[in-house]
Structure 1
Amino acid sequence: MKMTVLCLLNTFLMATGQMLFKFGSSGKEITSILDIIKLFFSPVVFIALCLYAATTGLWLYILSRTPMSHAYPIQALAFPIVLLASMVFFRETISPMKWIGVFIIVFGVFVATRG
């Protein structure tokens, strides 16, 4: 149970990092590698990178204590989390097909983590 909670936390933090990457890069013109490097040092993207470093550490801890066949399917929940967050924070329209996909992913994670 503890490892499942940590997997869910890791997934939520990864999704948060993705949202920060989107927020930090929105409206920026990226035409060269130098633009990307500069973006790495903008406050929001830098926080996202630090968050990703932390989630990598947490992921290593999780993998050292639980089977990957249990932990990895939970990571798929990042897709529904990001989808919902993009709808709320970026006012993106989510198509019915994407909602069907979210249902399939959530159901698949449920099935995969039960066996």
Structure 2
Amino acid sequence: MYFLLTIICALMIATGQIFWKLGMKAIPFSFSLNTLIKFFLNGYILLGIFLYFTETFIWFWLLSREPVAKIYPLLSLSYVFVVFMARVFLKEKIAFTQEVGILFVIIGVSLIVKK
């Protein structure tokens, strides 16, 4: 059960990042009250905040039941999920070196969580 919930957390983190990117495409960034108001009126930003908020509570539940050294490495998969989602939903180009890096992350996570 911990494995599935930790993967869900990683997916929520990645999806939140994609929503924030989509939201930031619509809001020119500046350090102003006007920009802050636009942040909290933007649906994508709000969805990203909701996902992070929800993920945090799931994560707290996991931390209360599993060793952090066992579950935290799985969150590294959020990097993999973000790159994949950026390619699919944002049409971002992924360099070969990024693909190699993703492979290393997957191998590293596999080695760490393997019993």
Could you tell me the TM-score, scaled by structure 1's length? 0.93
What are the ranges of 5 or more consecutive residues in structure 2 without an aligned counterpart? none
Partner of 2:80: 80
Aligned to 1:91, the other structure's residue is in SS state: coil
Return the alpha-carbon distance in structure 2 between the equivalents of residues 9 and 76 of structure 1: 12
Partner of 1:50: 50
CA deviation profile, 1:54-104 (whole Å, cap 9, x unmatched): 000000000101110011100000011000110111111111100000000
Aligned-CA RMSD value? 1.1
Return the alpha-carbon distance in structure 2 between the equivalents of residues 71 and 90 of structure 1: 29
Q: Which letter does structure 2 place at the counterpart of 1:17?
A: G
Per the TM alignment, residue 37 of structure 1 is displaced from its structure 2 partner at its CA by 4.3
CA deviation profile, 1:11-70 (whole Å, cap 9, x unmatched): 111111111101111142111142134313311211210111100000000010111001
Aligned residues: percent identity? 26
Q: Which letter does structure 1 place at the counterpart of 2:25?
A: S
- Structure 1 residues 30 and 107, CA gap change in structure 2 (3 angstroms): same
Partner of 2:110: 110
Return the alpha-carbon distance in structure 1 between the equivalents of residues 107 and 74 of structure 2: 11
Partner of 2:9: 10
What are the ranges of 5 or more consecutive residues in structure 1 without an aligned counterpart? none
Partner of 1:92: 92
Return the alpha-carbon distance in structure 2 between the equivalents of residues 73 and 40 of structure 1: 32
Over 4 Å off, 4+ runs: none
**Paired residue total:** 114
